[in-house]
């Protein structure tokens, strides 16, 4: 299914992420795509805050994966922007099949290794404050998730 959410501010994006977090489940995979500066990392900050993670959330561009264990569930924040493709990146299954929550920035780069069931959010820049989040669900639990949040 496809959905749309319009964020008119950073606070809107954070609130949306916090609402998604309230419906979290083990093994959840959220894929974030969109140009630089559209709010992907802001989304992760909101989700992490709602999980109870107090660490400063920054994009793991050069690390690829940052792991946070201080919240209600493990959070695996991935930024695969620097990867050329997923062919030599077999490590992702270990994260996707676990008890934690994976949020992946630039997920389209590793599309061929993403799990069949997942949530994809594409951030589109409208103006200085406004972003359109086009949301696509893969699997019933993600349909249920979005239906309970929107």
CATH of the domain at 90: 3.40.50.300
Domain that holds residue 110: 2-129
Residues of the chain with pLDDT under 70: 84-90
Give 20-30 pLDDT, tens digit per residue: 999 999 999 99
Q: Into how many domains does the chain fold?
A: 1
What integer best gives the mean pLDDT of the chain? 92
Is 89 contained in some domain?
yes
Taking phi over 0 as left and psi of -120 to 50 as alpha, with beta for the rest, 19 belongs to alpha
The conformation of residue 121, written as its DSSP 8-state character, comes to E
Distance (Å, whole) CA 69 – CA 51: 10
pLDDT of residue 63: 81
Q: How many CB atoms lie within 10 A of CB 65?
A: 15
pLDDT of residue 41: 95
pLDDT of residue 85: 57
Is 108 contained in some domain?
yes
Helix (H) or strand (E) holding 20: helix 10-21
Give 40-53 pLDDT, tens digit per residue: 999 999 999 999 99
């Amino acid at each position: 299914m496809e959905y749309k959410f319009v964020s008119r501010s950073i606070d809107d994006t954070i609130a949306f992420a916090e609402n998604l977090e309230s419906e979290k489940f083990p093994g959840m995979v959220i894929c974030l795509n969109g140009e630089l500066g559209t709010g992907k990392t802001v989304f992760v900050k909101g989700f992490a805050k709602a999980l109870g993670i107090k660490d400063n959330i920054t994009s793991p561009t050069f690390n690829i994966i940052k792991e946070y264990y201080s919240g209600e569930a493990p959070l695996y924040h991935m930024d695969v922007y620097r990867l050329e493709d997923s062919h030599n990146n077999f490590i992702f299954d270990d994260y996707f099949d676990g008890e934690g929550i994976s949020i992946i920035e630039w997920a389209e780069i590793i599309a061929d290794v993403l799990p069949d069931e997942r949530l994809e959010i594409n951030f589109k820049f409208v103006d200085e404050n406004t972003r359109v989040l086009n949301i696509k669900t893969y699997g019933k639990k993600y349909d249920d998730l979005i239906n309970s949040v929107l």
